[in-house]
Structure 1
Amino acid sequence: MYLPPQFTAKDPAIALELMRAHPFASLISTDDEGLPFVTHVPLHVMEAADGLLLLGHCARPNPHSRYLRDRPRAVVTFLGPHAYMTPRVYPDLTRVPTWSYLTVHATVEAVLREDFDDKDRLLKHLIHDHDPAYAEQWRGLAEDYQHKMMQGITAFELRVTQLQCKVKINQHRPEAHAGMLAAYEAGNPDERALAGWMRRLGLVGHAA
Structure 2
Amino acid sequence: MYIPKYYQEHNMNKIKAFIHDHPFATIVSTAENGRPLATHLPILIHEDGESLILAGHFAKANPQWHTLEHSDEVLIIFQGPDAYVSSTWYGHEDVPTWDYQSIQVYGQPALLTEGEVKQDLIQLLNRFEKKDGARWDNLSEETLQQIHGVVGFHITVSEVFAAYKLSQNRNHTDYQNIIHHLEDEHNGVADAMKDEQD
- When normalised by structure 1's length, the TM-score is 0.88
Quick one: distance in 2 between partners of 1:176 and 1:197? 16
CA RMSD of aligned residues (A): 1.6
1:196 aligns with 2:195: no
| CA shift in 2, pair 1:85/1:152, >3 Å | same
1:169 aligns with 2:166: yes
- The question of whether the paired residues in 2 share the 8 Å contact of 1:124 and 1:135 is answered with no
Secondary structure, aligned partner of 1:53: strand
Q: Quick check: 175-184 or 155-164, which moved more?
A: 175-184
| CA shift in 2, pair 1:158/1:85, >3 Å | same
Match 1:119 to one of 99, 117, 120: 117
Matches within 5 A, 1:90-101: 90-93=90-93, 95-101=94-100
- Structure 1 residue 51: deviation in Å? 1.6
| CA shift in 2, pair 1:102/1:50, >3 Å | same
Which residue is 1:56 aligned to? Answer: 56
Cα deviations across residues 172-198 of structure 1 (Å, max 9, x unaligned)?
12252121011012112xx2x222222
- Structure 1 residue 135: deviation in Å? 3.7
Aligned residues: 196
Quick one: distance in 1 between partners of 2:150 and 2:134? 18
Which residue is 1:149 aligned to? Answer: 146
- The question of whether the paired residues in 2 share the 8 Å contact of 1:108 and 1:160 is answered with yes
Segments of 5+ residues of structure 1 without an aligned counterpart are none
Which residue is 2:183 aligned to? Answer: 185
Q: Quick check: 14-23 or 37-46, which moved more?
A: 14-23
Which residue is 1:102 aligned to? Answer: 101
Which residue is 1:42 aligned to? Answer: 42
Quick one: distance in 2 between partners of 1:170 and 1:163? 21
Quick one: distance in 2 between partners of 1:122 and 1:72? 22
Cα deviations across residues 54-80 of structure 1 (Å, max 9, x unaligned)?
111011121111001121410000001
- Structure 1 residue 88: deviation in Å? 0.8
Matches within 5 A, 1:5-16: 5-16=5-16
Segments of 5+ residues of structure 2 without an aligned counterpart are none
Quick one: distance in 1 between partners of 2:8 and 2:195? 15
Quick one: distance in 1 between partners of 2:14 and 2:166? 14
**Identical residues among aligned pairs (%):** 26
- The question of whether the paired residues in 2 share the 8 Å contact of 1:69 and 1:112 is answered with yes
- Structure 1 residue 142: deviation in Å? 4.4
Secondary structure, aligned partner of 1:134: coil
| CA shift in 2, pair 1:140/1:72, >3 Å | farther
Q: Quick check: 80-89 or 64-73, which moved more?
A: 64-73
- The question of whether the paired residues in 2 share the 8 Å contact of 1:18 and 1:103 is answered with no
